[in-house]
Amino acid sequence: MPARPRYGRMDIGLDKVSEGIARAADWLLGQQHPDGYWCGELEADSMLESDYIFMHAMLGTGDRGKMERAINEILRHQNEDGGWSQYPGGPAFVDYGVKAYLALKLMGWSKDHPVMVKARESVLANGGVVKCNTFTKIYLCAMGQYDYNAMPAVPPEIILFPKWFYFNIYEISSWSRSMLVPMSIMYAKKPFKKLPAEQSIDELFVGGRKKANLHLRWDRKKIVSWRNFFILLDRITHLAERVHIRPVRHWALKRAEKWMMERFEKSDGLGAIYPAMLNSIVALRCLGYSDDDPQFIRAMDEFEKLGIDCPEGEPNYPTPTFRMQPCKPPVWDTAQAICALGEAGVAKKEPRLLKAVDWLLSKEVRQKGDWAEKVPNVEPGGWYFEFNNEFYPDVDDTAQVLLALNCVRNPRERYQHEVSQRALDWIFAMQCKNGGWGSFDKDNTKMIFQYIPFADHNAMLDPPTVDITGRILEMLASYGYTRRDKRVERAIQFVLKQQEPDGSWFGRWGVNYLYGTFLVLRGLEAMGMWSHEPQIQQATEWVRMVQNADGGWGETCGTYDNSNMRGEGPSTASQTAWALLALLAGGDRRSDSVAKGVRWLIAHQHENGSWDELAEGRNGESYYTGTGFPRVFYLGYHLYKQYFPLLALTTYKRVMEREVGAA
């Protein structure tokens, strides 16, 4: 019997791992854009296509062919029960059902069509139209399908609140801010388009629209509560609207328009994200901008650039489709790709990596944005997520770019050092009081905002999170920072205090506990925390415990609704990679769990070096392992399944070779 390899309990040698790494690196390099960046598709749910049809139907714009293909994309996402979910395999979500139903009607579908019958049954079973959130209701109001007097008020006067006032707009998350300001213009102007009777959705109201209670309901169990207080304010606001007591409305609309226009500059649309861009287009029309106005044309062009048109279909779904992305992630994907390729042994002076780094350096933020309202005395620095979004750099992207810059030996060393130092200073200035970091703002933590009626999209805040903080710890270690720095130690104590009882960590920006745990363990390892510390041992034991029988790992978006499901889900390439990276960072090199995970990645790699994460029976949809807003919006990053497995295999190989050499 041949001797067992010295490098671990595996039936697959390091030569196979090396081959897998080489093929994955070649595939990833082959996806690089000639300009130097990477940008994978960002897949999301059917809401985007429904809203796309709504907007064009309301404004009388759009390409009929694209809208027809968008209907095919909506139908592609429909569940067997007739509803539409937030992620593949998830339960029906009433807002998406209502929006899809309206979109189908706007495109001429009859309510008697079998698809419509099933959709209607699903919506009614989930409470009907009145259960939708404010973002859905204001679109319905614009089409005459809901009453402006019954939806939560979004008065533009909120933009006039001074910065010292507790409820000023800079105390809510940046994404909510960019969505709500144009929405407040819509609310004030109350656009209305009367639909023909056959396009009405009255049948989606439980008991019929005339009998439905459209107004916000008081909390009768707790009369004295913040919820009831804000509902009272909402009723007063509506009363003032009806009797035209709006003394500062003119100034509020002017301020909102100015705020929006300023943020159009150096940006691919307002906030460079889909909901804000759509709302801003409608808001421009409400303010009187015509179709041929340069601002309207530019806003519409940037919005349409998010579309992916497939008139001939695709290999995994041959039906012609048109789908929208919520945004584009070139900075994020480029930084991640550079790190994975750098770890895989691609030379530090490789021209393709140098070109990618130079592209990133060209995207450095050099003007102050919304973040400066709370951090005014810091020089701008850092990076955003998209191609152009100067007002909204984020800490997470900035940390990842800084990690990427360290992977390449740039001839412009002095310039790169200056850029990196500005970014480091900016990140430290953005550190929150509790030691952690949020994404776009500092100390964005006022929980009272969740009780405001128009906050029912559950994404009003941007608190510090352990996943971002873990990545920052890893980055800071690569720049020579240690636990002797008080800021670093505060961050470490923050993540340790956030550990769950079972040893895992919550993932805010990736699904879910596998993501959070992997980033925290990587950060703690980089900072030299001993792998035998109880917190580390408990975390790695949790990762091993939730491994699937096939050797991989997976976790569904449903864990945000039910934390008892954490670690449960079909195996995916990205989440298997995260689990392996977590175990390796936690000091586990030789367990069966690691061996099985590596075998799973090698076995599921295609000959061309890539991986798939297709959801079974879902018409070519990918599993979503990215998180936009927990319990609200999820994402399928198409390059996650490529650069994270490459990073995991490379990390494993390096660790095992080091152990073999030491032996």
- Give the burial class of 614: count Cβ atoms within 10 A of its Cβ; 0-12 exposed, 13-18 middle, 19 or more buried: middle
Nearest to 339 by CA among 429, 408, 392: 408
d(CA 468, CA 495): 10
Contact 541, 590 (CB under 8 A): no
Nearest to 620 by CA among 311, 313, 309: 313
Chain centre distance of CA 477: 26
d(CA 120, CA 97): 8
DSSP letter assigned to residue 426: H
Contact 645, 611 (CB under 8 A): yes
| Catalytic choice (45, 268, 394, 396) | 396
Contact 640, 41 (CB under 8 A): no
3-state secondary structure 310-358: ECCCECCECCCEEEECCCCCHHHHHHHHHHHHHHCCCCCCCHHHHHHHH
The secondary element (H helix, E strand) that includes residue 621 is none
d(CA 408, CA 539): 32
d(CA 64, CA 53): 9
**The amino acid at 495:** V
Contact 101, 350 (CB under 8 A): no
CA distances from 488 to 136, 420, 636, 648 (A): 42, 18, 32, 26
Contact 50, 103 (CB under 8 A): yes
Backbone angles phi, psi at 635, to 5 degrees: -135, 145
Tokens representing 151 are 């939806």
d(CA 458, CA 347): 45
How many Cα atoms within 13 Å fall on the side-chain side of residue 591?
Answer: 18
Judging by DSSP bridges, how do beta strands 42-43 and 307-310 pair with one another? unpaired
**Gyration radius (Cα) of the chain, Å:** 25
Q: Bridge-partner residues for 622, per DSSP?
A: 614
d(CA 410, CA 358): 8
**The amino acid at 611:** W
How many Cα atoms within 13 Å fall on the side-chain side of residue 384?
Answer: 27
Q: Bridge-partner residues for 437, per DSSP?
A: 465
467 catalytic, yes or no?
Answer: no
d(CA 51, CA 633): 14
Backbone angles phi, psi at 637, to 5 degrees: -80, 115
- Our CA angle for 486, 489, 493, nearest 5°, is 140
Contact 574, 40 (CB under 8 A): no
Residues 6+ positions from 458 with CB-CB distance below 8 Å: 450, 629, 630, 631, 632
Tokens representing 109 are 């579908």
Chain centre distance of CA 88: 16
d(CA 424, CA 94): 43
Tokens representing 660 are 């073999």
388-404 as b/e: b if 16+ CB within 10 A: ebbbbbbbbbbbbbbbb
Return the active site residues: 396
